[in-house]
A and B are shown apart, each in its own frame.
Chain A
C-alpha cells in the first residue's frame, strides 16, 4: 500500500513552520509512584491488622480514609480557613516582595543590601517567631497571616529582584524605538521578570500552607486544620488527627497544582513550557 498523507497531516504541516514535538510523559513518572504508594499503604494496612496495633497509636489506612469521608464537610471547612490564611499571606507577601524589588531596582546598593537581609531571613526558623506575632496581633487569624507574610516576602523579594535585574538585547530595541519608561516597564521589564516571580510563587505557595498549619498549632482561629490537628492529637483522637493530615496533604497538593497551572498559562511563551 502506498502511504497517503491525510488532510490532517497536510494542514498541520502548513500551520507549523517549525516542527513542534509533542511532549510525552514517560510511563514511569506516573506508574512507578503509584506502585510504590500502593505497596506502602498495603504494608501499613497489613502491619496494623496483623500486629493488632491499637488504633490510638497507629490507625489503619482504611480507618483514616473512612473518617476522612465521614468528616469531609468539617475537614473541608477547616482546610478552607487554613487556605484563606495562607493565601492572604501569599498575597501580601508577594505584593511586598515584588514591589520592594521593583522600587529598589534602580538603586543597586540598596537592592543588594536588602538581598543580604532577605537571604538571612530565609535561613532563620521563622516559625519560631510566631509567639512574637501573637504579641502584636493577638492569638488571632491575623497573627497567622502575618507569620506567612514574614516567611514568604523575603523569598519573593529575592526572586523578583533577580527577575528585575535581568538585561537582554531587548533593552537596545526599546532604546532604538525611543520607548518611554512606562512602555519599557509593561512591555519588557515586567514580562521578563515574570518567570522568576512564578518560580517564587511555586516555592512560596506550598511553604505558605506549611507555615500556616504550624502557626495554627500554636494558636489563632480554632476552625483551622492546624488547631484541629493539635486538639485531636492532645485528646488522643488519632484517627481524626490523621484524617485532618490527609486533608492537609490534599490542600498542599491542590495549591501546588493550581499555581503550576497558572504558571503554564501565564508563561505559555516560555521555553520551559513548550
Chain B
C-alpha cells in the first residue's frame, strides 16, 4: 500500500540505457522517500544519474525496473492529473510568447478561462518577484529572470509537487544565492513537495529538509542526510555553525560515495 503521507517514493529503481554497442547502468536500486511538503535535494557528481531519477519520477522516461510514485500514484497518473510541475535546467521558455503567455501555457492546456489565466499568471509572476514583466519577451530578460518565469510557469498549475532539475546551475553565485532565498519563500507559501537536483553543496544544505547523496556509475543513493536546521531559513542561516557542520557532513558523504569503487 502506498503511504499517503509520501509526496515522492522510489523503490528499487533501476535504469539501463542500451544503445548501439553501449550499455550503461545509470541507476541501480534507488530507494527514496520524500514526505509530503518536504524539500529533498539530490546531490552527486556530473553523470551520476540524478537527472535520470528526476526524469523517471516526473514521467519523462520509464524506469527499467522498480516502482516510482508521486502522491501515491504512478508518475503517469500524477502527470495526467497535473499534480506536479517541472523546472528544467534551461528556462525552456517559448521565445515567441510573452512572459505572461509563457506562464499561462499550462493553464491554457487545462482549459482555464482566459481572464482567470491572466490573473493567476500575474499572481505567480508577483510570487517569483517579477511583477510588471508580463509583456516582455523572454529574450529581454536575464538568465535569472528567465528561470524565475519558468518557476512561475511550473507553479501556475498549483502543483503539489515541484521537480527542479539544476534550475540555478547556469547562474552566477550572487543570483543563485538570491534565488535560493526566493525559492525557500515560495516553498513556504505553496507548501509543495520539492525535489531539487543540484551539484552545489551549500545550495542543497541551505534549502532542504533532507539531502540524498548519489554515487556515479552505477548511480546509487549512498546516504540520506536530514538537515536539522531551523524550519525558517534566512540569509543568516548561512552563518549558522550548524549549517557549516552539515555542509561538511554532506561533503564527506560525497567523498565517500566517490570512493565506493
Asked whether A20 and B92 contact (CB < 8 A) given A178-B80, A178-B82, A178-B109, the answer is: no
Contact A274 B139 (CB under 8 A): yes
Given A183-B108, A187-B105, check contact A178 B92 (CB 8 Å). no
| A172 at interface by CB-CB < 8 Å | yes
Q: Is the interface of A mostly helix, strand, loop or mixed?
A: loop
The residues of B that contact A61 with a CB separation of less than 8 Å are none
Contact B141 A18 (CB under 8 A): yes
- Hey, which chain B residues are within 8 Å of A170, CB to CB? 92, 94
Q: Are A173 and B86 in contact (CB under 8 A)?
A: yes
Interface SS of chain B: helix, strand, loop or mixed? Answer: loop
- For the complex, is B142 an interface residue (Cβ under 8 Å from A)? yes
Pick the contact of A177 from B106, B141, B145 — CB < 8 Å?
B106
* Chain A residue at minimum C-beta to C-beta distance from B137: A269
Residue numbers in B under 8 Å from A180 (CB-CB):
109
* Given contact pairs A179-B109, A188-B94, A269 touches B139 in the complex (Cβ within 8 A): yes
**Contact partners of B88 in chain A: CB under 8 A:** 169, 172-173
Q: How many residues of B contact A (CB 8 A)?
A: 27
B179 to chain A, nearest CB (A): 15
Q: Which residue of B lies closest to A183 (CB)?
A: B109
27 CB contacts below 8 A, A to B, read A17-B140, A17-B142, A18-B139, A169-B90, A169-B92, A170-B94, A172-B60, A172-B88, A173-B88, A173-B92, A175-B60, A176-B59, A176-B60, A176-B79, A177-B82, A177-B85, A177-B106, A177-B109, A178-B79, A178-B82, A178-B109, A187-B108, A194-B96, A269-B95, A270-B95, A271-B139, A274-B139
A176-B79, A176-B84, A191-B94 given; 10 more Cβ-contact pairs under 8 Å: A17-B140, A169-B92, A172-B88, A173-B88, A175-B60, A175-B79, A176-B59, A176-B60, A194-B96, A269-B96
